Structure 1
Amino acid sequence: MVIGGHIDSWDVGDGSTDDGGGCMMAIEAAALLKELGLVPRRTIRVVLFTNEENGLRGGKAYHAAHGKEKHVAAIEADTGSGAPRGFGISGTPEEVAAVQRFAPLFEGLGASVLEAGGGGADISPLTKDGVLSLGLHPDASAYFDLHHSPADTFDKIDPDHLERNAAAMALMAFVLAER
């Protein structure tokens, strides 16, 4: 089970929205599971990909090094750090329906929208191999106001949104790693 985001910060801002927040969500998700003493049946691996914007080298390198390993799922956060909405899911119709049954678990976090179609660029090599792939979907209504601009800085990240996205990612990772 892989969870992650990517570090680029090649643009004019510091990359907090694209995609430092996604990296922090994945790190915090793992820390939260550890703090709660939740140990799933399968390993949850945090991956901080690099160079998504200019060649997807991190995602490709991860796939080259670990693509032959059995992955039950992959989750990527790469749409900013707005309030959590849910997840987009790419898999077989049966896999998507199975994940959608967990929607009530995410209501308290505001992340209960579990819709078909998701994943992310960094995990796309795994998705092409048939790995169940999810993209964390926060509210992105202000994402392009910050994305790739001088305004993409840490002060724009709402700590509550970051924490709730991390909790949603932790819960989804745990559920999928236990499945």
Structure 2
Amino acid sequence: MDSCDCKSSDIHDYNCYFTNNCTFNTNHSLSSKTLLNCKNGSGIDIPIPSFINPTFNPIPIVNTKLDTICLCNPNVKINFSSIIHYKVISPNIVLNNPFIITFQLSKICNNTSKIILSTFDYAYGSIVTTDIRESFNFNYCEYNICPTCSVYLVEIIRVTGIDPVAAFEEASITNSFISVNAISN
């Protein structure tokens, strides 16, 4: 995972909330008050819990960092996109439960502990054998945050299969992508 390379001298004491007046002095200089960083993830097979193996450990999908120290009360927009491939073979059985993947968006500020921002569910339901490829994406915004160096990351934290006894299931995620934009407020 990317880590921020902020120095302690770069960390400022801001009155970040309830003010639009940033009066700090920093060595950063920008010709624009907009920042962007993005990153592609790699393809990943998604293990589907079953009665034999019911545990699921979080799977990191993609991450990128953004240093907003040079911005005043920034607004940050995070975009995530991917393609999900899901295949189920169920011989002569009607499938009752949807296939669900829960994605978690988090950030780590100045190399400290993880802050969970939100979760997003992808769900697919079918009563017959299926083999699909679908796009999945989400957007998230933070408003008037304190300027800091942050790593934004997307993980899969939970997967629920259609029917762990009666069906053979496999899933993967490809073409994962995250972009983080920030602008002074």
The TM-score with structure 2 as length reference comes to 0.24
Q: Hey, which of these two has a bigger chunk of strand by percent? A: 2
With normalisation by structure 1, the TM-score equals 0.24
Higher helix share: 1
**Higher Rg of the two aligned structures:** 2
